Amino acid sequence: MTVAAVAAAFTRDVDAGLARVEAIVADARRRGADLVVLPDASLGGYLASFAVGEGTVDPPPALDVDGPELARVAAAARDLVVCLGVCEADGGHRYNSAVCLDGSGVLGVHRKVHLPPADREVYAPGDAFSPCDTPVGRLGLLVDHDKTFPEAARTLAGRGALLVACLCAWPASTSVRATRVDLDPQARLFDLYDRARAAENQVVWVAANQCGQHGQLRFLGRSKVVGPGGQTLARTGAKAGMAVATLDVAEEVERARRTLHHLDERRPETYLDAEGTGP
């Protein structure tokens, strides 16, 4: 199958975002993609600043997962599986969510579990890591900061996900000004987490990130497809683009796990438990 990881810029303008998503999905279809992963906050944009305090955060518009915006994306997707990020409305709460869908409708939703301080001003945390079954296989969803925590990806892999789509709005460092993107400490972590999570879980990892400037944040791009050995199969630069790779996911994962099968080799009785204590 062919996987496309997208780097693109999105703002508060939901209509403009929808038009951009439709154009990207059409381009991915021309390239033969079966799975298209777009960044976090594809509709409505992410935060404009990491400043914390009442009145400092401009929240994105909250959308209903069953609303007309995602129905329009589903219509554009048709036979493709598309993952994109939204600010999800549910009752009185907002969630930073990744949605997986195709022409039949929504296949799965993941609400970002791990919230950095500025996110807590806007979003409620999710509370689960649950893969979804899709036409391209069992797929896990993560959002942005979730990938910092090994337990998140490991839970998805342990529940049968061979593919993990990680949707990001990951900015350059706000405290260290690097002369080149590859010297930026946040760029280094962004790439390190992608490759490490793929290799330690022996899964195919698809990371899509925003690019460009939004408020005080400059997003890094660097979207990529990573194989189960931690090898980068395709990637974008810092600007808008699409990383495209064609592979047999099940075969690649089986080959990676043939000699060393990390999930089977675990010793959970020796690890910390959910309360942070252990044997």
The H-or-E segment that residue 21 falls in is helix 14-30
Residue 55 has pLDDT above 70, yes or no: no
Running DSSP on this structure, what letter comes out for residue 43? Answer: B
Q: Please give the mean pLDDT across all residues of the chain.
A: 94
Supply the DSSP string of 165-180, one letter for each residue: EEEE--BPPSS---SS
Q: Is 221 left (phi over 0), alpha (psi -120 to 50) or beta?
A: left
The H-or-E segment that residue 69 falls in is helix 68-77
How large is the average pLDDT for residues 179-195? 90
| pLDDT for residue 54 | 57
Helix (H, G, I), strand (E, B) or coil at 84: strand
Q: How far apart are CA 216 and CA 225, in angstroms?
A: 28
Residue 279 has pLDDT above 80, yes or no: no
The length of the chain is: 279
Q: How far apart are CA 2 and CA 26, in angstroms?
A: 14
Q: How far apart are CA 43 and CA 18, in angstroms?
A: 7
Report the sign of the C-alpha dihedral through residues 88, 169, 125, 74, in that order: positive
- Residue pLDDT, tens place only, 219-239: 999 999 999 999 999 999 999
| pLDDT for residue 176 | 76
- Residue pLDDT, tens place only, 114-162: 999 989 989 999 999 999 999 999 999 999 999 999 999 999 999 999 9
- Residue pLDDT, tens place only, 201-222: 999 999 999 999 999 999 999 9
Helix (H, G, I), strand (E, B) or coil at 240: coil
